[in-house]
């Protein structure tokens, strides 16, 4: 687990950026605090920041070069089956997975990728062939951004490092529109024009002054008669191997509880970690985490934090945002990672299970929409719902909020319903906030998922959009701010392929959600864990915005002076949103305001890179 960057000039010498090496590696140093280095070839420079997990010796430092220093690899990730792959290679000089990847790619090129069980983003340069290849893993666990023009291609794990290579760029207002709709940016585009996200399962090949982007992976259509219990048990076992301490995130939800219980079977002294809100009982789930920890007999750590403890982390959290990203639970992961890193260097998590096995409330709502038509009831129900206050802050008001969203979807088709439930803001709400009315067709992001016929469209959209651009971004960026590696057993490619080919009724029905997981692991956990209602990893956002953060909103982040000088947002729209936030009926305005706050802080931190 590391940070990578590189630049390749299509022609000419590669000398102009040698003075910038320290800036680039410094921008990546939080991802790899243990060692930073670079290597320059005639036309290409590779940069690396290392977090030592496997083979702690300097032999596995990067850039990793062959003996003649003609070929180089920079790599971010882990190959969990590297020990099996080692047996098929000869003359290995190290004990980790870096050399395994180098040797395999040197020998088989892109063809070797199907053999890898892991997550990764890497670049391999062969100066003899003058060929650069940049690769991203199957599902987008590890990030990779790139830029190219007539002179060069540059790439990096994070935007800040990439901007050191490219210089200032223009804002992408299409991506800003997407960000305000979803609270994150999705797809190939990024917040900057001409900077792109290499999509999951893609690779870049640069040769003969030509850049080509291709797919190396897509989910196969294949009915597999596997046991999820056996698959997940093996996936957890593989991901426990490390030369540093390993633990598990344990929220008390089904997914992290299963992972922690399986980890305990293979690692008797496993440590588990959860975060709680001492001042906010509605958002605190530590009771369930402690129940599971006691049941499996793990060494459990509960970080029960007061609001003052949490608010102390707001400023460094806001400074850490590399690209606008406003899933508010990212803050929880940031704080949890900070405290977890004090005990271990690797943590297993339950990421991916909700997307693969239909565990979200929107999946329940979609099933209900198909089996129960609310169209006829909407004219009767909507007037009643409209006068009831809704927010995410209490159980009753959150139910009202969910009912309002469900009712509004009554007259929509299945595709439109999904988009409605995926979004925080409507198109009108976003256009009311922006001075530049985007012509971007937001719905195109979802077209591939809705048009393909091989898999459940909702599952496929979750895999390609929600998982890749929200959940995995949150896990990677927030953990790597503290040099903590998160491993995701549910995203073992064998489990993803099994789940995507699984009939819907094995995942969700009127009897419940994630049915196959509950059935397969019912003997592993306390019955209360299977019976509890789904709850997101949320924080008391509305309360904080109305109180502790209110002065910053009014005087700094969203003041009339700030908004008008910035010339991006329509102050009248921002003003109406603030009024809604400070009312007794906030709806989703806390999440919408949070998106603006995140953007404003990002804008200040990146101002030197914005044209």
- 45, β-bridge pairs: 7, 40
CB contact set of 426 (below 8 Å; sequence gap of 6+): 181
User: Do 40 and 18 touch, CB atoms closer than 8 A?
Assistant: yes
Per-residue pLDDT, 416: 87
Q: Which residue has the tokens 């909700």?
A: 354
Non-local (6+) Cβ contacts of 471 within 8 A are: 351, 352, 355
What local confidence, expressed as pLDDT, does residue 443 receive? 79
In this predicted structure, what is the pLDDT of residue 388? 55
How far is Cα 508 from Cα 354, in angstroms, rounded to an integer? 11
Helices within 109-208 (DSSP H only): 159-166, 173-182
Give the residue among 79, 133, 112 at the shortest CA–CA distance from 242.
79
Distant-in-sequence, close-in-space partners of 70: CB < 8 Å, separation ≥ 6: 126, 127, 128
User: Is the bond preceding residue 63 a cis peptide, omega within 30 degrees?
Assistant: yes
pLDDT (tens digit, 9 = 90+) per residue, 173-223? Answer: 999 999 999 999 999 999 999 999 999 999 999 988 899 999 999 999 988
> Whole-angstrom Cα distance, residue 596 to residue 427?
16
For 418, half-sphere exposure in the C-beta direction (CA atoms, 13 angstrom radius) is: 20
Rounded Cα–Cα distance for residues 301 and 34 (Å): 25
* The three-state (H, E, C) secondary structure of 218-264, written as one string: CCCCCCCCCCHHHHHHHHHHHHCCCCCCEEEECCCCHHHHHHHHHHH
Sheet strand arrangement including 71-79: 64-65, 71-79, 118-126, 131-136, 202-207, 210-215
What are the tokens at 211?
A: 């850049």
Q: DSSP letter at 120? A: E
Q: List, as own/partner pairs, every contact residues 599-606 make where C-beta atoms lie below 8 angstroms and the sequence separation is at least 24, other chains included.
A: 599/176, 599/179, 599/324, 599/326, 600/557, 600/558, 600/562, 601/318, 601/319, 601/321, 601/557, 602/191, 602/321, 602/323, 602/324, 603/566, 603/568, 605/319, 605/321, 606/159, 606/160, 606/163
With H, G, I as helix, E, B as strand and everything else as coil, classify residue 490.
helix
Pure H helices in 284-342: 286-296, 307-311, 314-320, 329-340
Phi then psi dihedrals of residue 485, to 5 deg: -95, 130
Return the SS3 of 153: strand
- For the segment 36-47, what is each residue's pLDDT rounded down to a tens digit? 999 999 999 999
Q: How far apart are CA 238 and CA 191, in angstroms?
A: 36
Distance (Å, whole) CA 510 – CA 364: 9
Which of the residues in the chain have pLDDT under 50? 380
Tell me what pLDDT residue 133 has. Answer: 98
Rg (the chain; Cα; Å): 24
Please, what sign has the CA dihedral across residues 208, 212, 214, 216?
A: positive
Q: Which residues form the catalytic set?
A: 2
As beta bridge partners, residue 40 has 45
Sequence-distant (6+) residues with CB within 8 A of 121 are: 4, 75, 76, 77, 134, 135, 136, 137, 142, 143, 144, 157, 198
Q: Are 536 and 385 in contact (CB under 8 A)?
A: no
Residue pair 543/393 in contact by the 8 Å Cβ criterion = yes
33-47 in b/e form (b: 16+ CB < 10 A) is bebbbbbbbebbbbb
- Among positive and negative, which fits the CA dihedral 158, 161, 162, 168? positive
Evaluate whether 111 touches 445 at the Cβ level (below 8 Å): no
Could you list the beta-strand ranges (E) of 104-224: 118-126, 131-136, 145-148, 152-156, 195-197, 202-207, 210-215
Contact 337, 331 (CB under 8 A): no
**CA–CA separation, 197 vs 142, rounded Å?**
11
- Maximal C-alpha separation, the chain: 77
Please tell me the predicted confidence (pLDDT) of residue 402: 65
Q: What is the DSSP letter of 20?
A: G
Q: Two tokens at 556?
A: 């700094």
SS (H, E, C) 45-108: EEEEEECCCCCCCHHHCCCEECCCCCEEEEEEEEECCHHHHHCCCCCCCCCCCHHHHHHHHHHH
């Amino acid at each position: 687990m590391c940070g990578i960057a590189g630049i390749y000039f299509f022609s000419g010498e590669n000398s102009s950026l040698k003075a910038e090496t320290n800036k680039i590696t410094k921008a990546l140093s939080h991802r790899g605090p243990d060692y930073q280095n670079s290597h320059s070839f005639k036309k290409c420079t590779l940069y690396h920041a290392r977090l030592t997990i496997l083979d702690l010796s300097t032999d596995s430092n990067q850039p990793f070069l062959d003996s003649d220093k003609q070929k180089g690899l920079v790599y971010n990730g882990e190959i969990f089956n590297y020990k099996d792959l080692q047996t098929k290679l000869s003359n290995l000089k190290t004990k980790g997975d870096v050399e395994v990847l180098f040797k395999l790619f040197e020998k088989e090129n892109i063809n070797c990728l199907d053999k890898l069980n892991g997550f990764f983003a890497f670049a391999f340069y062969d100066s003899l062939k003058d060929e650069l290849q940049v690769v991203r893993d199957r599902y987008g666990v590890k990030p990779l951004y790139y830029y190219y023009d007539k002179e060069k291609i540059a790439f990096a794990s994070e935007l800040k490092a990439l901007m050191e290579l490219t210089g200032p760029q223009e804002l992408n207002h299409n991506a800003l529109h997407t960000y305000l709709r979803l609270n994150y940016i999705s797809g190939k585009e990024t917040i900057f024009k001409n900077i792109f996200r290499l999509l999951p399962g893609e690779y870049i090949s640069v040769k003969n002054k030509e850049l080509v982007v291709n797919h190396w992976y897509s989910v196969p259509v294949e009915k597999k008669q596997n046991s999820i219990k056996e698959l997940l048990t093996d996936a957890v076992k593989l991901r426990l191997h490390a030369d540093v301490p390993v633990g598990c995130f344990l929220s008390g939800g089904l997914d992290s509880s299963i992972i922690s219980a399986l980890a305990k079977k293979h690692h008797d002294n496993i440590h588990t970690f959860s975060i709680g809100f001492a001042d906010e009982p509605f958002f605190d789930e530590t009771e369930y985490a402690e129940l599971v920890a006691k049941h499996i007999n793990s060494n459990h750590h509960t970080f029960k934090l007061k609001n003052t403890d949490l608010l102390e982390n707001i400023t460094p959290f806001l400074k850490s945002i590399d690209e606008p990203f406003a899933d508010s639970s990212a803050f929880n992961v940031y704080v949890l990672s900070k405290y977890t890193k004090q005990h271990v260097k690797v943590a297993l998590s339950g990421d991916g299970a909700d997307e693969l096995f239909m565990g979200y409330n929107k999946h329940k709502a979609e099933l209900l929409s198909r089996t129960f038509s609310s169209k006829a009831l909407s004219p009767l129900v909507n007037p009643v719902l409209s006068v009831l206050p809704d927010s995410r802050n209490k159980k009753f008001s959150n139910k009202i909020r969910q009912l309002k969203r469900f009712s509004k979807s009554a007259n929509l088709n299945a595709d439109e319903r999904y988009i409605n439930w995926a979004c925080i803001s409507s198109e009108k709400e976003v256009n009311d906030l922006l001075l530049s009315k985007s012509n971007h067709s937001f719905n195109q992001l979802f077209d591939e998922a809705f048009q393909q016929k091989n898999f459940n469209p909702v599952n496929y959209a979750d895999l390609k959009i929600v998982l890749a651009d929200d959940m995995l971004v949150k896990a990677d960026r927030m953990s790597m701010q503290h040099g903590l590696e998160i491993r995701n057993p549910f995203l073992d490619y064998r489990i993803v392929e099994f789940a995507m080919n699984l009939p819907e009724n094995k995942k969700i029905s009127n009897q419940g959600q994630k049915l196959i997981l509950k059935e397969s692991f019912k003997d592993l956990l306390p019955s209360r864990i299977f019976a509890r209602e789904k709850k997101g990893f949320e924080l008391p956002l509305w309360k904080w915005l109305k109180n502790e953060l209110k002065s910053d909103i009014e005087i700094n982040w969203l003041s009339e002076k700030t908004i008008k000088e910035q010339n991006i947002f329509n102050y009248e729209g921002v003003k109406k949103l603030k009024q809604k936030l400070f009312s007794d009926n906030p709806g989703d305005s806390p999440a919408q305001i949070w998106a603006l706050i995140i953007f404003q802080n990002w804008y200040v931190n990146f101002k030197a890179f914005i044209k």
